[in-house]
């Protein structure tokens, strides 16, 4: 992957990743493992993706991280440096290894770079192939494989640096993005939309959770019954997300792109296929085209069957290229 930032190919899709993401070691049997990234990046080596502009993720700055997470938490996470081969558990599911500090800073740096590229008109849209994921990390509490909340960092950066007043976050990961919801639940400048299996981890995301205070009505949760597939997701996106986005008029669309609602994923019981992910990508691209000058930033979250993950990312990125 290219190491420079010369992503000036007119209105291409930007692919941002980095070898450091493979150094976030989670242990031999952990589902959120480096092979996930190897599988999807391997799929994106197909000649069909020659139109991608590929760059490496930079390190996020402290200033970019602290817009979402308190300095004390940032310092704590980055200061944990176990010897190679050893792991430190943040909770039973979330671990820190020798390579984690660089990985989490580059994951956040990837989405910041994506915002810069999309807002600067240097690409049509961007896909950040990062790990660890981020949407379960609240401002003050890591968890669910997540340490820093990448999409929240991207949204706050876009608001601070580019003066955006309306950002839409679409989270189609099978697990509710509780950390993202918590980050924006009292904020009317960010519309958070989530589809997720319910009941399921982390136990949040009821339809009755729709924001609080000034943010009342700017959180939209659509709990999905186990087994729901392409038809059910398509209907929800058309019937709920499209009109909500039309009312909100976002200036930037961010996707928390988890692919664990796939029918073959081992950590859930939904029925999406890669064709379904292609459809969802198309619907979100239409929203971005109508309201946000086509600006889309997609950041990898879950997806734990390697074959299904690779096929779903293939379909998703094809959709971004066609947007």
* Active site positions, annotated: 136
Give me the torsion for CA of 66, 70, 75, 78, rounded to 10°: -70
Extract the tokens encoding 238.
Answer: 């058309």
Extract the tokens encoding 83.
Answer: 């010897």
Reported in sequence order, the residue ranges of the chain that DSSP labels E, i.e. its strands, are 13-17, 53-56, 88-89, 95-96, 125-128, 167-171, 190-197, 219-224, 252-257, 296-300
- Strand 53-56 to 167-171 pairing: unpaired
Read off φ and ψ for residue 257, nearest 5 degrees. Answer: -95, 85
If one counts every other C-beta atom within 10 angstroms of the C-beta of residue 116, the result is: 20
Check if the beta carbon of residue 129 is closer than 8 Å to that of residue 17. yes
């Amino acid at each position: 992957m290219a190491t420079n930032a010369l992503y000036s190919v007119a209105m291409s899709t930007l692919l941002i990743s980095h070898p450091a993401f493979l150094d976030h070691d989670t242990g031999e049997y952990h589902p959120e493992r480096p092979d996930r990234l190897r599988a999807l990046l391997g799929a994106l080596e197909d000649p069909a993706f020659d139109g991608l502009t590929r760059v490496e993720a930079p390190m996020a700055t402290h200033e970019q991280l602290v817009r979402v997470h308190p300095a004390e938490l940032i310092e704590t996470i980055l200061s944990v440096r176990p010897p190679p081969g050893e792991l430190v558990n943040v909770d039973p599911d979330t671990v820190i290894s020798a390579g984690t500090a660089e990985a989490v800073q580059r994951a956040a740096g990837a989405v910041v770079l994506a915002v810069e590229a999309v807002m600067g008109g240097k690409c049509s849209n961007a896909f950040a192939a990062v790990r660890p994921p981020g949407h379960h990390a609240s401002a003050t509490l890591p968890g669910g494989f997540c340490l820093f909340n990448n999409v929240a960092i991207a949204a706050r950066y876009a608001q601070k640096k580019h003066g955006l007043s309306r950002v839409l976050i679409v989270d189609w990961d099978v697990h509710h993005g509780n950390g993202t919801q918590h980050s924006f639940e009292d904020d009317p400048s960010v519309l958070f939309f989530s589809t997720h299996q319910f009941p399921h981890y982390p136990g949040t995301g009821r339809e009755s959770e729709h924001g609080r205070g000034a943010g009342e009505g700017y959180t939209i949760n659509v709990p999905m019954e186990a087994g729901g597939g392409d038809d059910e997701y398509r209907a929800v996106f058309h019937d709920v997300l499209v009109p909500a986005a039309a009312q909100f008029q976002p200036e930037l669309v961010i996707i928390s792109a988890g692919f664990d609602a796939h029918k073959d994923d081992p950590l859930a019981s939904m029925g999406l296929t890669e064709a379904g992910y292609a459809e969802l990508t198309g619907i979100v691209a239409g929203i971005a085209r109508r309201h946000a000058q086509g600006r889309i930033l997609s950041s990898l979250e879950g997806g734990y069957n390697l074959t299904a993950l690779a096929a779903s990312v293939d379909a998703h990125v094809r959709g971004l290229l066609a947007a």
